[in-house]
Structure 1
Amino acid sequence: MSLKKNVVATLVTYLIVYLLPVMVNLFFHLGSHIYLVQTLDYIIGAILLAYFYLRTNEQPAIERKLTKGRQVLLWGLLGMIAALVAQMIANFIDLLIFRSVPNSANTATILTIIKSYPFYIVATVIAAPIMEELVFRRTIFGSLAPFTGNVGAALIASVMFAMAHNDGHLLVYTAIGLVFCYLYQKTGRIQTSMISHILMNALVIGISLLR
């Protein structure tokens, strides 16, 4: 698969995965079963996007500098910390300037669902981060970087990432997205930002569930 075909396949598949549970619910009124449908939908979506990634015989320019496995893991761990710090700083700015409540409605909703349907944690901690990194970092950021430069591409991809979460904390999710873009650009490995993203979601959700 060429890089251009990968970009199209990735974006189209992600859009279908993103909209499918809502569309199915409109016709079949799934009720609480929508969370199982969404979990399966996300898992299948993550597998498909990973398959497209593995079948692509071209690489974005960012991936020409490959980092070894141990360094990917190390940067992934450091990236999780950096993303949490970026989130705290962005929350402070949000509160200071926009008077926004630090609590994320998106996170609160996810926690409520997980408490009733524990299997949903697979969608939020593993499947969603894998898809989002392949879409927003590798596909959007990676494709735009040669045309807009790394900074411009990172801003566009991160704002789109924030808008996809749609909970009013645009600055917070943009800041997190910028950290993930940096990790991908720094190591040339999308696995780095995946590790950071998965660990961050797992830590935030895990701590919240233990409260």
Structure 2
Amino acid sequence: MSARQTPILTLILYLFIYLLPATLNHWWQLGAQTYLVTTIDYIIGAGLLYAIYRRDAPLTFEKKAFGWTQAFGWIVLGALAAFVGQMVARMIEIVIFHSVTSSANTNLILTVIKSQPYFLIASIIAAPIMEELVFRRILFGYLQRFTGVVGAALIASVLFAAAHADGHLLTYTAISLVFCYIYHRTGQIAVSMGSHMLMNAVVILVALH
């Protein structure tokens, strides 16, 4: 697969996966079944996007070998750094922009999981896989040749924040910047995926208890 085909195919497929549940609900009024459809859609989507990634050539900063112990350490460090970045960004939003403290996106996910526990798979596993492949590997990874590392990280992170669309632009941008750094520093998209999954899991499971 060529360097031009991979990002285009990945982005088109991601948009299709992202919009499919809402489109089906609009036409067939799925109701509560929307979240089951979304979970299945995300699982299949994550698998397809990962298959595209596996067929792509490595980017210049990606590493072929990385020990599991080292990877685990970076995963934990990435999740912790993302928590800190989120807290700092959230405080700035509250003090300067007088933003609400809660996240509408997170609250919706928690509400759905309480009645549809299987949605945990979409939130903790499938969504992070897709988001890391799209926002980190494709947008951040491929844009570097045109904008440099910092420019690519900023563009990818702002788009990541905009995709969550709950008013906390700075918070999600800060989280994304951390994952961009983890990915670039380790050269392993699996590490930033792990950090993303760990962060989502902790936030959701703590909130549910």
TM category, shorter = over 0.9
Task: Tell me what 1:24 maps to.
Answer: 24
Hey, what's the Cα distance between the residues in 2 that align with 1:122 and 1:135? 19
Alignment of 1:75-90 (within 5 A): 75-90=74-89
Matching of residues 68-147 of structure 1 within 5 Å: 68-147=67-146
Q: What TM-score, normalized by structure 1, do the two folds share?
A: 0.96
SS at match of 2:61: helix
| 1:69 CA displacement | 2.9
Counterparts of 1:65 and 1:177, CA distance in 2: 23
What is the letter of the counterpart of residue 33 of structure 2? Answer: H
Task: Give, in angstroms, the shift of residue 108 of structure 1.
Answer: 0.3
- Counterpart of 1:199? 198
Gaps of 5+ in 1: none
Q: Is the 8 A contact 2:135 2:157 kept in 1?
A: yes
Identity across matched positions, percent: 56
Q: Which ranges in structure 2 are unaligned for 5 or more consecutive residues?
A: none
Aligned equivalents of 2:116, 2:166: Cα separation in 1: 22
Q: Would the aligned equivalents of 1:66 and 1:188 in 2 still touch at CA under 8 Å?
A: no
- How much does 1:21 deviate? 0.6
Q: What CA RMSD, in Å, does the superposition of the two structures yield over aligned residues?
A: 1.1
1:134-188 Cα distance to aligned partner (Å, 9 max, x none): 0000000000011111100000000000000000000000000000000000011
TM superposition outliers: structure 1 runs of 4+ over 2 Å: 64-70
Could you say if the C-alpha distance between residues 204 and 143 of structure 1 is closer, same or farther in structure 2, counting changes exceeding 3 Å? Answer: same
Specify the alignment match of 1:10 in structure 2: 10
C-alpha deviations, 1:37-89, integer Å up to 9, x for none?
00000000000001111122x12222157543321221111000000000000
> Cα offset for 1:3?
2.6
1:62 is aligned to: 61
TM (normalized to structure 2)?
A: 0.97
Residue 177 and residue 15 in structure 1: after superposition, are their counterparts in 2 closer, same or farther (change >3 A)? same
Residue identity in the other structure for 1:84: F
**Amino acid aligned to 2:179:** F
For residue 164 of structure 2, what is the aligned residue in structure 1?
A: 165
Confirm whether residue 174 of structure 1 aligns to residue 173 of structure 2: yes
- Count of paired positions: 209
